[in-house]
């Protein structure tokens, strides 16, 4: 999606911008990078998200979980042949449309803080400048 008119630019807020950016790389994530972030990384999960993400394999995959404070866990997805349990062999996410999926999964690779839009340097689309067009739009809208 391209932002062309000044009127449209002025009507967008930060959340609209990050949604456009996230949507702009969907096809790339599945077809080109093969969901690298879900195969080589880590995810912070709340205890109530474990069952959803672990796909009923929590005990079997306990070795990739590390308890943290406040009923949260770190799930490491960097071991040999161990991707996120919710990632299919066709590199799509089984929980993508679930409301209660982890916020990091919803936001990655574009994060919105109170006054900044942050692009994750771990994302291959960001590294490969796939977001370049959106970045120019961010600058023009936020200035």
Cβ neighbours around 39 below 10 Å, total: 16
Burial class (CB in 10 A: 0-12, 13-18, 19+), 57: exposed
Please give the full DSSP string across the chain, using - where no structure is assigned: -----HHHHHH--HHHHHHHHHHHTHHHHHHTS-SHHHHSSEEEEEHHHHHHHHTT-TTTTGGGEEE-STTEEEEE--STT---TTB-TTS-BTTTT-TTS-HHHHHTTEEE-SS-EEE-TT-HHHHTTTTHHHHHHHHHHH-
* Average confidence (pLDDT) over 85-109: 89
Q: Which of 47-61, 70-84, 125-139 has the lowest mean pLDDT?
A: 125-139
In this prediction the pTM is 0.72
Residue 2 lies in a domain: no
Residue 134 scores a pLDDT above 70: no
pLDDT at site 130 = 61
Residue 5 lies in a domain: no
Domain extent at residue 81: 12-142
Tally of domains in the chain: 1
- Tens digit of pLDDT for each residue in 32-47? 888 888 888 888 888 8
Residue 86 lies in a domain: yes
Residue 119 scores a pLDDT above 50: yes
Residue 6 lies in a domain: no
CA-to-CA distance for 112 and 19, rounded, in angstroms? 10
Residue 1 lies in a domain: no
Residue 18 lies in a domain: yes
* Average confidence (pLDDT) over 99-106: 88
Residue 134 lies in a domain: yes
């Amino acid at each position: 999606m391209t932002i062309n008119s000044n009127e449209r630019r002025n009507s967008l807020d930060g959340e609209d911008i990050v949604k456009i950016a996230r949507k702009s790389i969907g096809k790339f994530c599945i077809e080109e990078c093969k969901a690298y972030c879900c195969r080589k990384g880590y995810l912070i999960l709340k205890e109530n998200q474990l069952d959803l993400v672990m796909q009923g394999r929590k005990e079997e995959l306990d070795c990739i979980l590390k308890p943290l404070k406040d009923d949260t866990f770190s799930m490491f997805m960097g071991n040999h042949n161990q991707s996120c349990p919710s990632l299919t062999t066709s590199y799509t996410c089984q929980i993508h449309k679930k409301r209660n999926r982890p916020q990091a999964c919803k936001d990655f690779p574009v994060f919105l803080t109170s006054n900044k839009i942050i692009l994750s340097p771990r994302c291959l689309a960001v590294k490969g400048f796939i977001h370049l067009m959106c970045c120019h739009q961010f600058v023009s809208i936020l200035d």
